[in-house]
Structure 1
Amino acid sequence: MSLPGSYSYGPYHGGPDPLAPPTDLREAVDELGRDVMSGASPRSALDELLRRGTRSAPGLDELTRRLWQRRAEIQRRHRLDGTLQEVRRLLDEAVAAERRAAFADPSEDARFREAVLDALPSGTASAVSELADYDWTTDTGRENYERIRELLGRQLLQSRFEGMKEALRSTSRADAERVERMLADLNALLAAHAQGFGDIDRRLAEFLRRHGEFFPEQPRTIDELIDVLAARAAAAQRMLNSMTPEQRRELAELSGQAFGDPRLAQRLGELDDRLRALRPGQDWTSSARFRGDDPLGLADGVRAMTQLSELDELAEQLSQSYPGARLEDIDLGALERQLGPAAAVAARRLSELERELRGRGLVERGPDGSLRLTPTALRRLGETALADVLRSLRGRTGRRDTTSAGAAGEPTGSTRAWHFGDTEPWAVSRTVRNAVLRTAARGGGGVRLDVTDVAVAETEHRARAAVALCVDTSWSMVAEGRWLPMKRTALALHQLVSTRFRGDALHLVTFGRYARPVELGELIGMEGTWEQGTNAHHALLLAERHLRRHPDAQPVVLLVTDGEPTAHLESDGVAEFDYPPSPRTLGTTLSAVDRLARIGAALTVFRLGDDPRLASFVDLLARRGGGRVVAPDLGGLGAAVVGDYLRHRRRR
C-alpha cells in the first residue's frame, strides 16, 4: 500500500504505450504517393506499405517471415517419440533388474521368471501389456512398472487438459478415481448438450463446482468449454497424425495401461469422439514433420502442435488475404508469445498507421467505394516534390527561387524566416514577437533581437499567369519509366503555384489517344494503360481554351512528351491515329501551335528521349511558336519545368 504523496511504478498494462513516439505519417504518405504515382492504386499502395513496413516498424512480410522461421525451428529441433522412449527406458531397467535377481536365484521359480522375461515380445506396448500380471521381485522392477503406468496416465491427461499437471498433486489410486469420475461427468455433460437439454447452464455450473480444478481457463459457457477441449483434442490428433504408424500403434496399446485402468483410455476416446462431432471445423487431419533430436512427450508434443497451429493462424492474419481482413484481426497476445514483445509492438504500430492515415484525412473512400488520397495527402506529396525540385534548382543555378514568393512586389500577407541574401522587407511585428517568445522561454529578462528572430514579408508580382501543363500519358511514358517523374513534376508545379503564386491559374491536361483536363488527384492516381496515340494537337487545343478563359493573364504552355504526334482530332471529335505520323496529323498540330502564338502564349516543349524524329519535330514546334525546347534527363524533369515557369515569372 502506497503512503499519501508517494508513488509506485510498474509495467504499463491496458493499451498502447503512452510514452511511445507518435506515428510518423510523413514517411508513410511519401511512400504511398511514390507507389500511387508509379501506377499502383491507393488501396494496393497502402497494402504494399503495410507489407513492406517503415523505418520504425517491420512490415507484415517481415513478421510473417519470422513466424515461418519460428515454425521451422520447432520442427527442426524436436521429435515426438519422447513418451515411447521414456517407457522403453523404464521397461528395460525393470527387466534388467529382474534378470539379475533371477540369475542369482537357483530356485525353479527364478527359472520360470527368466523364461517369462525371455519370451517378452520386442514391441514396447506388447511387453508392457505382458507384464501386467507379472510378480515383480525387485524394487526397481516394481517401481519402474508403476512409473510407466503413472507416466502414461499423466501424459494422456496433460495432453488433453491444460490444468491437469496442477490438479494431479499425486498419482494415488484415489487421484485416478477422481480423474475417471471427472471424465465420466464431462462426457455426460457433453452428451446432454448435444441432445439439447434446456438446463445445460445449471449442469455446467455443477460440473465446474465439482471439477473446476481441472479447468484453469474457467469457461463461462458450454461453448467456451467445448472450444478449449476441442482445440487440445485436435492438437493431440494432429500429433498422432505426425507419428509413424508403428508409433501410433504403440501409443494406442500403451494407453490401456495408463494408471493401470483401461477405463481412462476409453473415457478419453469417448470424449474425442464427442468433441469431433461438436467441432468438426477444427483441424483433425493435418500433420507436421518433426526431424530434430529433442524428444517430446505427449503433453509437450501437443503443446508443440498447438504452437504450430497458432503460428499458422497468425500467418493467415498477417497475410490479410481473406475477405474483410483488418489489421485489428491480428492476435497481438499470440504474436507476443511466439515472436516476443517487439513483434507485437510492430504489428500495433502498423495498425495505428493505417488508422491514423484514415483518421487524419490522408486516405478516404471515393463515391465508388475505392480508396484514394485526400487533398491533404496530395499537399504533403506536393511539398516533398517541390522541395526536391528546388534543391535541384539551387544546385544547378545558385539561385534561391524556393524562398522567394516573388522577386519583388506586393506583400502576400505571409512571412517566413530570414535567410542569408534575402532582400525582402522585414516583418517587424513578427520579428519582435519571435524575440519576445524566445526571451520568455529562457526565463525572461530584457528583450534583444537575434538573427534567428528575423522574419521577412513574402511578396509576389501581381501580374497573373495562366499556365497549361500538358503531359504525355501514352504507353511509352510507362514503358520507359517516365510515369513517376512526370507525376512528380505536376505535383511540384501545382504545389508551387498553389502556395507561392496563388493568383496564377494552373490547368493540367493529359494526352494519349485523346486529351482531357484533369484534377491533380486524378492525375496522381492515374494508372498506365495500353493506348496507341500521342495527340498533342488535342492537348494544345485544350490549353488554348484555358488561356482564353484568362485574357488578363500572361499565357504559358508547358508541354511534356516523349514521342512525336501520332494522332489528331478531327472536326467530328474523333481521334485519328497514324504511325508514322501522317502529314495531316503534323499539320493540325502545327496549326494549334500557330493559334497559341497568335494569343502571345509562351511555349516550352520538354523532350524526353533522344529519338531523332521527335527532336526534329519539337524543334519545329518551338520555332513555329516562338518558344524553346528543353531536353532534361528524368531526374531533372521537375527542375526543368519549375525552373522554366519561374523564368517566365521573372521576365514579367
Structure 2
Amino acid sequence: MALGYRFSDFIPPQDDKPGFESLLEIFLQLVTITSGDANEALNWLSSLDKQYKITNDEYGIGDFIEDLRKKGYLDDDPERKGGLSLTAKSEQSIRKSALEEIFGKLKKGGKGSHATPHTGTGDEASTDRREYRFGDSIEQISMTDSLRNAQINHGIGDLRLTEQDLEVNETEHKTQAATVLMIDISHSMILYGEDRITPAKKVGMALAELIRQKYPKDTLDVIVFGNDAWQIEVKDLPYLEVGPYHTNTVAGLELALDILRKRKTPNKQIFMITDGKPTCLKEGLRYYKNSFGLDRKVVNKTLNLAAQCRRLKIPVTTFMIASDPYLQAFVDEFTKVNNGQAYYSSLKGLGHLVFRDYRQNRKKNF
C-alpha cells in the first residue's frame, strides 16, 4: 500500500474565546502599562475598540466593564467620582498573565523545590533505585522490585523476603532559596521614548507567580531603587512607576543584603534589572549625584558591595537593558568582582533570560 498525502482547503483557526476573556487579556496588558490605573486602561481600551473594532453589537465595552464588576475584578473608587480600582483578584490575574506571556504555561508542582546534586533521604522520589540501607524508611521501599529480587534469589516457590532483596526508591534532597529582585525606577527607564519599566514589572510579577506555583518553599523579596531604595509588596508591582530619580545602586544592594541576612536558608541570590550606571550615593542627609560618565566615587562603592556579596556567597545576576559599551564595561567589572552573571538583553527577551537564570541558578548553586 503506497503512502501519500491528502490535501484539503485550509481553514484558519477561529477565536472561540468568549468576548469577556478576549477583552480581559487586553485589559490586563493595558492596566500594567498604566501602572494600575483602571480608568485610564479602560479609556485606552475604548480608543482601541473605536479604531480596531475589537467588540461587536452583541458584546460591547460597557458589557465588559459591568462583567469586571460582577466577577470581582473592579471595585468602585470612593476617591474618584465614577472611578474604579483594581481588586486583589485583578492583581493576581495580572501576575498570571505575565507568567503566561513571559514563561509560558507551567503546571503547578506538588511541594515545589529545587534539586541538589545529592541524594539520600529527601522529600521527592527519583526514578533511581538502590539497595536497602539501615535508616531507610518503609515508605521508600519499592515492593515490586523487592519481590522480584526475592523470586530471583530464592525461587518462585520461596516467599522469603530478606534484607538483601530489598530495593528502595532513591530520593533527592531539596533546598529552599531566597531571592531578592531589584528593579531600577530611575528616570532613564522611560527616557528616549522607550518604556523599559513595563517589561521590568512584568518580569517581577511573572517571577513571583512562578515561585508561588512551582517553588512555594522559596522566598522572593522585591525592592526598587532610585535616589533611595525601599521594599515593595508583590501585589504592588502593577502600580510601580518611575520617578525623577538618579540610580543609587549602592542603596539597593545594601537593602538587599539586609533582607537576605534575615533569611535562614544558606542559598541566597540577587537579581538586578537596570538600564544604566550607578549615579548616586547618599552621604548623611545629602545626595551625591553625577550623571556624566562613570563617577569613580560612586562606582568604587558599588564594586565594594559586589565584593561583599561575593564574600557572603550571594551571587548577583545583572540584567542590563542597555547597549552602551561603557555601561557594559561597568557591568562586566561589577560581575567579575562579584563572580556573578550578567545578561545584556533587549526588552523583548528580558523575561526569558530571568527565567533561564533562575532555573540554572537552582541547578548550579543549590
TM over 0.5: yes
Relative to structure 1, the CA distance from residue 612 to residue 504 in structure 2 (aligned partners, 3 Å threshold; closer, same or farther) is same
Are 2:43 and 1:47 aligned?
Answer: yes
Could you tell me which residue of structure 2 aligns to residue 591 of structure 1?
304
Match of residue 467, structure 1, among 179, 182, 193: 179
Q: How do residues 149-548 of structure 1 correspond to structure 2 at under 5 angstroms?
A: 343=57, 345-346=58-59, 349-365=60-76, 371-391=84-104, 405=112, 410=123, 462-479=174-191, 480-529=194-243, 531-548=244-261
Relative to structure 1, the CA distance from residue 33 to residue 555 in structure 2 (aligned partners, 3 Å threshold; closer, same or farther) is same
Cα deviation for residue 384 of structure 1 reads 2.8
Write the deviation string for residues 211-246 of structure 1: whole angstroms up to 9, x where unpaired: xxxxxxxxxxxxxxxxxxxxxxxxxxxxxxxxxxxx
Relative to structure 1, the CA distance from residue 366 to residue 557 in structure 2 (aligned partners, 3 Å threshold; closer, same or farther) is farther
Asked if 2 retains the 8 angstrom alpha-carbon contact of 1:466 and 1:506, the reply is: yes
Q: How do residues 622-637 of structure 1 correspond to structure 2 at under 5 angstroms?
A: 622-637=335-350
Relative to structure 1, the CA distance from residue 601 to residue 365 in structure 2 (aligned partners, 3 Å threshold; closer, same or farther) is farther
Q: How do residues 54-69 of structure 1 correspond to structure 2 at under 5 angstroms?
A: 58=54
Relative to structure 1, the CA distance from residue 579 to residue 462 in structure 2 (aligned partners, 3 Å threshold; closer, same or farther) is same
Residue-pair matches, total? 294
What letter matches 1:363 in structure 2? L
Cα deviation for residue 42 of structure 1 reads 2.1
Write the deviation string for residues 458-498 of structure 1: whole angstroms up to 9, x where unpaired: x9964111101111112221123322211111111011011
What letter matches 1:33 in structure 2? L
What letter matches 2:69 in structure 1? R
Cα deviation for residue 501 of structure 1 reads 0.8
Cα deviation for residue 592 of structure 1 reads 2.2
Write the deviation string for residues 77-103 of structure 1: whole angstroms up to 9, x where unpaired: xxxxxxxxxxxxxxxxxxxxxxxxxxx
Asked if 2 retains the 8 angstrom alpha-carbon contact of 1:470 and 1:510, the reply is: yes
Unaligned 5+ segments in structure 2 are 1-15, 116-121, 129-170
Could you tell me which residue of structure 1 aligns to residue 11 of structure 2?
none
Cα deviation for residue 411 of structure 1 reads 5.3
Could you tell me which residue of structure 1 aligns to residue 27 of structure 2?
32
Could you tell me which residue of structure 1 aligns to residue 164 of structure 2?
none
Asked if 2 retains the 8 angstrom alpha-carbon contact of 1:37 and 1:483, the reply is: no
Match of residue 271, structure 2, among 554, 558, 565: 558
Q: Percent identity, aligned pairs only?
A: 25
What letter matches 1:38 in structure 2? I
In 2: Cα distance, 1:500 partner to 1:638 partner: 17
In 2: Cα distance, 1:363 partner to 1:51 partner: 20
Q: Which has the higher contact order (CA 8 A, sep 6+)?
A: 2
What letter matches 1:466 in structure 2? A
Cα deviation for residue 562 of structure 1 reads 1.0
What letter matches 2:209 in structure 1? Q
Cα deviation for residue 527 of structure 1 reads 3.2
Relative to structure 1, the CA distance from residue 407 to residue 474 in structure 2 (aligned partners, 3 Å threshold; closer, same or farther) is closer
Relative to structure 1, the CA distance from residue 53 to residue 401 in structure 2 (aligned partners, 3 Å threshold; closer, same or farther) is closer
In 2: Cα distance, 1:25 partner to 1:54 partner: 17
In 1: Cα distance, 2:317 partner to 2:75 partner: 36
Unaligned 5+ segments in structure 1 are 1-20, 60-341, 392-399, 413-421, 425-458
Cα deviation for residue 366 of structure 1 reads 6.1
Question: 2:278 aligns to what SS in structure 1?
Answer: coil
Relative to structure 1, the CA distance from residue 48 to residue 24 in structure 2 (aligned partners, 3 Å threshold; closer, same or farther) is same
In 2: Cα distance, 1:575 partner to 1:460 partner: 50
Question: When you count strand as a share of all residues, which structure comes out higher?
Answer: 2
Write the deviation string for residues 281-338 of structure 1: whole angstroms up to 9, x where unpaired: xxxxxxxxxxxxxxxxxxxxxxxxxxxxxxxxxxxxxxxxxxxxxxxxxxxxxxxxxx
Relative to structure 1, the CA distance from residue 46 to residue 627 in structure 2 (aligned partners, 3 Å threshold; closer, same or farther) is same
Q: How do residues 609-628 of structure 1 correspond to structure 2 at under 5 angstroms?
A: 609-628=322-341
In 2: Cα distance, 1:648 partner to 1:599 partner: 16
In 1: Cα distance, 2:100 partner to 2:23 partner: 17
Asked if 2 retains the 8 angstrom alpha-carbon contact of 1:497 and 1:504, the reply is: yes
The structure number with the bigger radius of gyration is: 1
Could you tell me which residue of structure 1 aligns to residue 287 of structure 2?
575
In 2: Cα distance, 1:460 partner to 1:387 partner: 29
In 1: Cα distance, 2:92 partner to 2:172 partner: 21
What letter matches 2:213 in structure 1? T
Are 2:316 and 1:608 aligned?
Answer: no
TM-score normalised by L of structure 1: 0.41
Cα deviation for residue 576 of structure 1 reads 2.3
In 2: Cα distance, 1:460 partner to 1:366 partner: 50
In 2: Cα distance, 1:460 partner to 1:520 partner: 30
Write the deviation string for residues 528-562 of structure 1: whole angstroms up to 9, x where unpaired: 44x14111111111111110110324111001111
Cα deviation for residue 613 of structure 1 reads 1.7
Asked if 2 retains the 8 angstrom alpha-carbon contact of 1:407 and 1:460, the reply is: no
TM-score normalised by L of structure 2: 0.71
Asked if 2 retains the 8 angstrom alpha-carbon contact of 1:28 and 1:54, the reply is: no
